[in-house]
Amino acid sequence: MSSDGRGLRRHITARAATGLVVANVIGAGVFTTTGFQAADLGNPTLILILWVVGGALAYCGALCYAELGAAMPEAGAEYVYLRRTYGPAFGFMSAFVSLIAGFPAPIAAALKSLVRYLTAFFPILERDPLVLGVVHLGDLVAVLLIWALVAIQFRGKDSAIRFNNMVTVSKAAGLVAIIAAAALIGQGDLSHFSYVSAGYRTMSTTSTMTALGTSLIFVMFCYSGWNAAAYVASEIVEPQRNLPRALLLGTLIVTIIYLGLNAMYLYGANVDELAGKVEVGLVAARHLFGEWGARLVTVVLSVSLLASASAMTIAGPRVYFALGSDVPALGRLTTTTADGVPSTSLIVQGTVASIVVVTGQVDQILSYAGFTLALMSALAISCVIVLRVRAPDMPRPFRVWGYPIPPLFFLAVSIWTMFWAFRGRPVESSLALLTVAAGGVIFAVSSLGRTPSPDSPE
């Protein structure tokens, strides 16, 4: 196998990279946020439209990352793109955000949601008692799952990819089976699709726009991970060809599954029954299939959440590895095992994810991480336009189809969404902005800010 020259071996095939995208994207969000959208909007038509918009946005983002990743097939994704385009300060801020919100927060949300679904089998988790008067039992289970996934990574890269491929195939097959079963034998009600809550009928235009913005932030978070393959570009075989394929095919598969899942939720329960529920899949499944059917659905959804956390556990440390490779003061992040697993980065990520588990609720984590990731993704997408102007002769094995419409659409929708989401969730949005600003301050006041800037792309 070839190497990228920085200690990471090219061993990930196009199929495995596509699986990484699917596993990374389908996580806590799609199994939880429909309940928050039902509470905020109360209109099933608008909810489904938002999932279509989110899919279109993710596909436009995948097109842009395909161009950037094929041109710069290195570990780190937006860290690499922002560093090359805007300088090391922006690269550092993106890596700092990845370390706090980009990967640990979604991992925490996925595993906390998994624990909520497991209450169907272990009712004691629903009571969530304190253990030794320190941490809730459910949070302790989620933390243990974090470190179990870290341990799987330490078994070696190939073992980790095989495990991720296995749970991803199980996940995708199970979700397709659930959607098909809901359509063929589910005891649902088509009238749910036209039923709107009393609250929606009395909402003002401003309230509706705020609810749409907040809900779209949730949807964008659910689609975050469409860029997962870009983080491991330095380990993908023939990345100039296989990276775009993985990003685009993975995003398309996810969009189809997401629309099917949300249609299933709304077929099984109306917006009032789903409103505010974290375990929306379980609520809908009980209506569709009864208690035993709901338990089978819970197994599939739990595997799906585990697969998402597994994929993010793989992708995240590659960003920190790239940061450590460029910044000598953070060189410890490049420490690897004999098999090339970024060990220090894995431990740091696991520690941060564990802290997030015990300090936040699922909806808070989703809103905070969603706003942060929307901001950083928008900055990365802007690199496509800037580099087209500043470096027109830069080799681009893949070019965005329909340029400049995809990046402009992505940026316009992202800015609109963040504006209204800030109005709807000012606390979580402010924390997201403070996280980005904190990365800039750390870079400016430390020796990191004196790291030589990389050469501009030719």
Distance CA 156, CA 141 (A): 24
Q: What is the pLDDT of residues 71-110, one digit of tens each?
A: 888 767 788 899 889 988 888 888 888 888 778 888 888 8
For residue 342, pLDDT beyond 90? no
How far is Cα 26 from Cα 255, in angstroms, rounded to an integer?
A: 10
Asked if the model's pLDDT at residue 371 lies above 50, the reply is: yes
Q: What Å distances lie between residue 297 and 82, 163, 259, 325, CA to CA?
A: 41, 21, 17, 43
Give percent above pLDDT 70 in the chain: 92
Torsion over CA: 315, 226, 63, 429 (sign): negative
Tokens of 345: 């980065």
Contact 310, 164 (CB under 8 A): yes
Range in 24-33, 67-76, 237-246 with the lowest mean pLDDT? 24-33
Cα–Cα distance, 12 to 14 (Å, whole number):
7
377 against 240, higher pLDDT: 377
- What DSSP designation does 340 have? -
Non-local (6+) Cβ contacts of 400 within 8 A are 63, 64, 66, 67, 384, 406, 407
In a domain, 458, yes or no: no
Work out the pLDDT band at 436, boundaries 50, 70, 90: confident
Mean pLDDT is lowest, of 126-130, 194-198, 304-308, for: 126-130
d(CA 11, CA 237): 6
Residue 1: its pLDDT value, please?
A: 41
Q: Which residue has the higher pLDDT, 46 or 301?
A: 46
pLDDT at 457: 44
| Range in 141-150, 303-312, 345-354, 440-449 with the lowest mean pLDDT | 440-449
For residues 367 and 217, the answer to whether their CB atoms sit within 8 Å is: yes
Return the bridge partners of 131, or none.
135
Strands (E), 222-263: none
- Indicate the DSSP class of residue 397: S
pLDDT at 287: 87
Which range, of 29-38, 268-277, 350-359, averages the lowest pLDDT? 29-38
Confidence of residue 349 (pLDDT cuts 50, 70, 90): very high
Query: What CATH number is attached to the domain comprising 305?
Result: 1.20.1740.10
Task: Judge whether 281 and 265 are in contact, CB under 8 Å.
Answer: yes
- The better pLDDT of the pair 95, 259 is held by 259
Q: Which pTM does this prediction carry?
A: 0.74
Structure tokens at 223: 């689609």
Which ranges in 72-136 belong to alpha helices (H)? 78-86, 88-97, 104-118, 124-127
Cα angle vertex 94, ends 82, 58, to 5°?
Answer: 80
Under the banding of pLDDT at 50, 70 and 90, the label for residue 361 is confident
Structure tokens at 381: 């997408």
At 456 the pLDDT is: 44
Supply 310's token pair.
């597994």
pLDDT at 5 over 50: no
Rg of the chain taking only CA atoms, in angstroms: 21
Of the candidate ranges 237-241, 265-269, 401-405, the one whose mean pLDDT is the lowest: 237-241
SS3 435: helix
Predicted local distance difference test score (pLDDT) of residue 10: 67
What average pLDDT does the segment 214-225 reach?
79
Note whether residue 324 is domain-resident. yes
How does DSSP classify residue 191? Answer: G
- Identify the residue with better confidence: 368 or 407: 407
264/256 Cα distance (integer angstroms): 12
- State the Cα–Cα distance between residues 266 and 259, nearest whole angstrom: 11
Three-state SS for 24-35 is HHCCCHHHCHHH
Residue 97 structural domain: 14-449
Phi then psi dihedrals of residue 122, to 5 deg: -125, 85
Does some domain include residue 318?
yes
pLDDT at 39: 86
Q: How far apart are CA 203 and CA 209, in angstroms?
A: 10
Label residue 196 by pLDDT band (50, 70, 90): confident
Asked whether residue 3 is domain-assigned, the answer is no
Residue 1 domain flag: no
What pLDDT, on a 0 to 100 scale, did the predictor assign at position 133? 65
HSE, CB side, 13 Å, CA atoms: give it for residue 156: 6
pLDDT higher than threshold 80 for residue 284: yes
456 inside domain: no
Instruction: Give me the residue label for tokens 């870290």.
Output: 150
Statement: residue 8 has pLDDT above 60: no
Q: Average of pLDDT values for 51-56? A: 91
Is the residue at 197 inside a domain?
yes
pLDDT tens by residue, 377-404: 899 999 999 999 999 999 998 899 999 9
Quote the mean pLDDT of the chain: 82
pLDDT at 202: 79
User: What confidence score (pLDDT) does residue 145 get?
Assistant: 93
> How do residues 307-318 score in pLDDT, each as one tens digit?
878 878 887 888
Predicted confidence at residue 3, as pLDDT, reads 45
Identify which of 69, 91, 55 has the alpha carbon closest to the alpha carbon of residue 12.
69
Number of domains in the chain: 1
pLDDT attached to residue 235: 78
pLDDT band at 351 (very low <50, low <70, confident <90, very high): very high
Is 454 domain-assigned? Answer: no
Amino acid at the residue 80: V
CA 59 to chain centre: 14
